[in-house]
């Protein structure tokens, strides 16, 4: 399969053709967004869940694909770890489609942990992981979605590259924490996205601060550098800062993270950067088309 980034005639075709990208067989997805980090443990899956909740609050139809196949976390975020994926017949004999598990807010979710026991490891290598992930995307009955968020594995490995090369990703959202070491590794992912011609919308800094229970002052725990300055070093817009919140951790452990993220105004800030999303995507695609017209 020829990739757009290496195609000899890439300047002669339009972006909306997406001739080399996989498509869902059962449903229609308007926007696909990859959520990624440079390393694990920065709260990428939490940010994916919070973003999904906030988009749902605005009335969008939202789905989540747990793309971190060897370390799936989305069922636990939504309190659905005991649920199992359903299967439904298709128009083709002996061919079935996955039925996603829906959260309390109606977010459609698919994950390998809906198919195996939570503590069972997957002893698969890169090509198999990539093929399984593509099947989860193409063979799930998504219905009509405004947004599908992909909780991507951290780093620049095989699965992350498969998503960037073969999925119809509109853009990536980077997740980081205040430490300089994390920012350095995030830059590797940013550079990979640039080489593969995947737009990066910006960075969400998680665990950015802790708020005093008495006076409400924000205190930086990991560094004195501001989130804005760290985002500037990465060459990315700062989309939002999310706090260290012990109450959120308690709700997560109790399987109530979705409800907490939906009712706590601290997390509404994450949506400010997405309010003009459709206009930005349209403008970016239109700009690409304008650029290619002279070569037709």
As a whole number of Å, the end-to-end CA separation of the chain is 23
45: annotated binding-site residue?
Answer: yes
Query: Could you tell me the CA-to-CA distances from 13 to 151, 163, 183, 278, 293 in Å, in that order?
Result: 30, 21, 35, 22, 9
Residue 188 counted as an annotated binding residue: no
Consult the annotation and say whether 23 binds a ligand: no
Alpha-carbon span 16 to 290, nearest angstrom: 12
- Is 28 flagged in the annotation as binding? no
CA distance 199 to 10: 17
Q: Is 40 annotated among the ligand-binding residues?
A: yes
Q: What is the dihedral of CA 287, 202, 71, 48, to 10 degrees?
A: -90
The alpha carbon of 172 is separated from its chain's Cα centroid by a whole number of angstroms, namely: 7
Q: How far apart are CA 242 and CA 38, in angstroms?
A: 17
Question: Is 25 annotated as ligand-binding?
Answer: no
Q: How many CB atoms lie within 10 A of CB 295?
A: 10
Rounded Cα–Cα distance for residues 119 and 116 (Å): 8
Is 79 annotated as ligand-binding? no
143 is in an annotated binding site: no
Query: Can you say which residues are annotated as belonging to the binding site?
Result: 38-45
Query: Can you say which residues are annotated as belonging to the binding site for ATP?
Result: 38-45
């Amino acid at each position: 399969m020829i990739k757009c980034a290496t195609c000899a005639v890439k300047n002669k075709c339009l972006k909306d053709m997406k001739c080399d990208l996989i498509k869902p067989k059962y449903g229609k997805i308007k926007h696909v967004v990859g959520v990624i980090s440079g390393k694990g443990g920065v709260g990428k899956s939490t940010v994916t869940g919070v973003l999904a909740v906030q988009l749902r609050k605005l009335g969008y139809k939202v789905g989540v694909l747990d793309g971190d196949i060897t370390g799936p976390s989305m069922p636990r975020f939504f309190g659905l770890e005991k649920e199992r994926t359903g299967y439904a017949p298709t128009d083709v004999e002996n061919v079935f489609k996955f039925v996603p598990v829906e959260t309390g807010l109606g977010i459609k979710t698919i994950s390998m942990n809906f198919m195996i026991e939570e503590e069972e490891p997957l002893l698969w290598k890169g090509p198999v992981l990539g093929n399984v992930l593509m099947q989860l995307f193409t063979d799930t009955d998504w219905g009509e979605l405004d947004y599908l968020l992909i909780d991507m594995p951290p780093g620049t490995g095989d699965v992350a590259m498969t998503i960037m090369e073969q999925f119809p990703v509109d853009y990536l959202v980077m997740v980081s924490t205040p430490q300089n070491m994390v920012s350095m590794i995030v830059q590797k992912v940013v550079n990979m996205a640039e080489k593969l011609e995947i737009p990066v919308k910006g960075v969400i800094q998680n665990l950015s601060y802790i708020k005093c229970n008495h006076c409400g002052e924000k205190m930086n725990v990991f560094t004195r550098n501001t989130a804005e300055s760290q985002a500037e070093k990465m060459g990315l817009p700062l989309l939002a800062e999310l706090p260290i919140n012990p109450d959120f951790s308690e709700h997560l452990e109790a399987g109530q993270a979705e409800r907490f993220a939906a009712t706590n105004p601290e997390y509404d800030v994450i949506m400010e950067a997405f309010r003009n999303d459709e206009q930005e995507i349209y403008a970016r695609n239109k700009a690409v088309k304008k650029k290619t017209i002279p070569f037709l």
